Structure 1
């Protein structure tokens, strides 16, 4: 039933993400507050008002209250909180391409963003460790989780939401987004002119004050020949500027193969990260038979190692491509999956696996976000839609996969199979999804390699036709 509630939330999150991304790109805020921050504020308020109720006993419920009645109570609350989460996440991500057009700076911002996400997770698991691990009136004395630990989770969620409100206030008061024009007010020719000039092409538009029949011959030629010192073969990665020149509306993205490849890469990355977080507690308690405090300690190690990787990833990407860094992070995740399969019960080898998993998931998540920002390029007027489309594939796939796993869970029928089941989830399932992500990475890299040659041929053919017309 918990999986069904999660599926409802994920589906609503995915639908809301697409709608919010579309509307955020079109919204025109006349004041200086900013369209992204306005949507972010809406999501923050929605989360603050609903999230605490998810960790509190439903009003009027008793110990023998039917599960379907509790589902009816919690599902709408989870739905509203997920809509709020979608509004905060998408608009926070969409701010990055608008703040800078430089790929290196975007990687830096994504790394900083993920670093603080890791710090917040460290804070959450630190609070959980203190509430569950240390002697406290809010936690039961049993080594396993039970309904008696409900007050501990209520205490945790109140601390977390209060801290979140504090830092969200700092964000809204400290960051100046500035006024933004809606998509319909932005001239695509201006954006395309800027992108094509940055790609090495010389663009010259005719003088509007001169009648067409009287214009000199050189003014009627929109694209002039390059200068002698201009290299014949340009940069081998013109995908950003090429896409930006051809994106005038949100639906133009569906014509781009790179859009689907990046969506597959992003959704697989999020699946790896989310599944490892969701099933880590069951793996620790049911498979490795560790004390319940380790559901806070081991994820804390995961996020500490992820924090270290997020700090180191920025200087590495200055001399190594994002694709290579992602591949290295994927190998770390696969190593963690293999390690998770061979760890015996009551073993502290789990901390080594946690370090591999934390560093690997941190690297692939930062790189997938950076590659998404690279895909958007300077087409920032549809940036929120792109992040929304990526997120809906992430949310739907997460909800569906978790429901499938929960329906295959044998623990309700045969408890002795729980250990092997969760071991398989942490090793086989997550490992297979990571391999699928690496396959998507290779197809993306292959597309990037064949794009420039085809573009050069088209330019040469276009140049030849222009030469024939001038002759």
Structure 2
């Protein structure tokens, strides 16, 4: 760190209001993504699409999202303007999301209710929605490394974002609980009405927080002349030569698989496998996100270094392994135990997500000229892997048994695709993620300390 009072703001912890304004900036993305992963497959199958067609819709959105993250990351690194990208992506999300859950618009225009047209329509709007989602996500994630060079502040920003992710998810499930209670799904039209109201409410709430973010957060700008520093824009090959890049990418990919795949099959599991009340598909996820919110808030108060990141990630991974085993073995006659499992899933999700994203900041260090590419490339891997994993699982959904009765007419445990998706896949991903984290040299890479205390690049 070079001396001078002018540089102090970039290495000292930032204020709580700055952390708050940044944290709410992803609320629109979070509340729509929660609806996307929790209810999309359930919604599409309830209105008549086959599990494979529903998987195609999900995959089309994930592929569009994956490629959009790469291009968005490159353009942000070239031209900057984080807030412009964030605002444009949020606008696209708000416009397109209602069309994903609002019924088949081309079907209404053409007066054609064929399943092929429905699949095409939902796939098209899913792709548009995810392109806007990617622009918002990459710009928001990349800003962490440009707002402050202070290690603890970077983790605090990430933890704040994760805390408001939980708030967004809780908001969605509160909306869903009310809608499912007021509007009964007796027909396809009723089901579409249910999710249309959920979509409109989510967009309204999310857009309010986007406005707060844009008004309260300053645009980070480079201070150093581009000719005087190689950090102005980092070429892609620079990251590909770093072992830590591949390790962080693997940990982030596996963590997102844990969260997204488990979220996608949670509603299926509590309704189909455990045959719990309809309210459970909102209550069980709500418990998960309440626990994640509490843990995320607590993580903001911890002074961080590389060793602690590895330790907390490992703790979260081990908890998820036990949760996955419990889900695989959970019989229907003690389905209420799922509420207890949800508490530990929420704790594990927060520990893994906050530390996995913070590892990106360790990788970036003070090389903020390539932070958007790092976020974009890792998100590309995340979206492609999640899309393919859900497509493979959902393609086999029709071949899974619906139940098996023993001699006493009691439901025995059976391993359905849903149970694999919620229990086995996240547990295996957590195990591999913990193993990769064990071999990471975060301290050798400069930890979260020395590289972040070099000359400040922002104003």
- Alignment equivalent of 1:185, drawn from 222, 226, 229: 226
TM-score (norm 2): 0.78
Alignment of 1:80-99 (within 5 A): 80-99=128-147
Deviation of the 1:65 alpha carbon: 2.2
| CA distance 1:170–1:17, shift in 2 (3 Å) | same
- Which secondary structure does the structure 1 equivalent of 2:154 belong to? helix
Deviation of the 1:439 alpha carbon: 1.7
Decide whether the 8 Å contact of 1:97 with 1:383 is kept in 2.
yes
Is 1:129 matched with 2:177? yes
Aligned to 2:351: 363
Aligned to 2:54: 2
Aligned to 2:252: 266
Deviation of the 1:344 alpha carbon: 2.2
Aligned to 2:451: none
- 1:306-365 deviations in Å (ceiling 9; x for gaps): 011111223345486110011011111112112212322152110111011111011100
- 1:351-399 deviations in Å (ceiling 9; x for gaps): 1110111110111001000011111010001100000011001001001
| CA distance 1:419–1:155, shift in 2 (3 Å) | farther
Is 1:139 matched with 2:184? yes
CA radius of gyration, larger in: 1
Aligned to 1:455: none
Is 1:343 matched with 2:330? yes
How far, CA to CA, are the matches of 1:340 and 1:75 in structure 2? 31
Is 1:17 matched with 2:69? yes
How far, CA to CA, are the matches of 2:277 and 2:416 in structure 1? 18
Unaligned runs of 5+ in 1: 29-34, 193-246, 453-471
Aligned to 1:39: 85
Is 1:251 matched with 2:237? yes
- Alignment equivalent of 1:436, drawn from 418, 432, 439: 432
| CA distance 1:90–1:449, shift in 2 (3 Å) | closer
Alignment of 1:123-272 (within 5 A): 123-132=171-180, 134=181, 136=182, 138-140=183-185, 148-180=190-222, 185=226, 187-188=228-229, 248-272=234-258
Q: Once structures 1 and 2 are overlaid, which stretch shifts more, 265-274 or 320-329?
A: 320-329
- 1:242-263 deviations in Å (ceiling 9; x for gaps): xxxxx84232111111111110
Is 1:276 matched with 2:318? no
Deviation of the 1:451 alpha carbon: 6.9
Decide whether the 8 Å contact of 2:147 with 2:220 is kept in 1.
no
Is 1:403 matched with 2:391? yes
Aligned to 2:311: 324
Q: Once structures 1 and 2 are overlaid, which stretch shifts more, 367-376 or 66-75?
A: 66-75
- 1:198-253 deviations in Å (ceiling 9; x for gaps): xxxxxxxxxxxxxxxxxxxxxxxxxxxxxxxxxxxxxxxxxxxxxxxxx8423211
Is 1:296 matched with 2:282? yes
- 1:237-295 deviations in Å (ceiling 9; x for gaps): xxxxxxxxxx8423211111111111010000000000111000111011101122111
Aligned to 2:107: 61
How far, CA to CA, are the matches of 1:275 and 1:342 in structure 2? 18
Decide whether the 8 Å contact of 2:287 with 2:339 is kept in 1.
yes
Deviation of the 1:146 alpha carbon: 6.5
- Which secondary structure does the structure 2 equivalent of 1:416 belong to? coil
Deviation of the 1:173 alpha carbon: 1.5
- Which secondary structure does the structure 1 equivalent of 2:276 belong to? coil
Decide whether the 8 Å contact of 2:253 with 2:381 is kept in 1.
yes
Decide whether the 8 Å contact of 1:43 with 1:83 is kept in 2.
yes
Decide whether the 8 Å contact of 1:287 with 1:419 is kept in 2.
no
Decide whether the 8 Å contact of 1:283 with 1:419 is kept in 2.
no
Is 1:100 matched with 2:148? yes
Deviation of the 1:52 alpha carbon: 0.5
Q: Once structures 1 and 2 are overlaid, which stretch shifts more, 420-429 or 372-381?
A: 420-429
Q: Once structures 1 and 2 are overlaid, which stretch shifts more, 116-125 or 427-436?
A: 427-436
Is 1:119 matched with 2:119? no
Unaligned runs of 5+ in 2: 1-52, 405-413, 447-459
Decide whether the 8 Å contact of 2:143 with 2:220 is kept in 1.
no
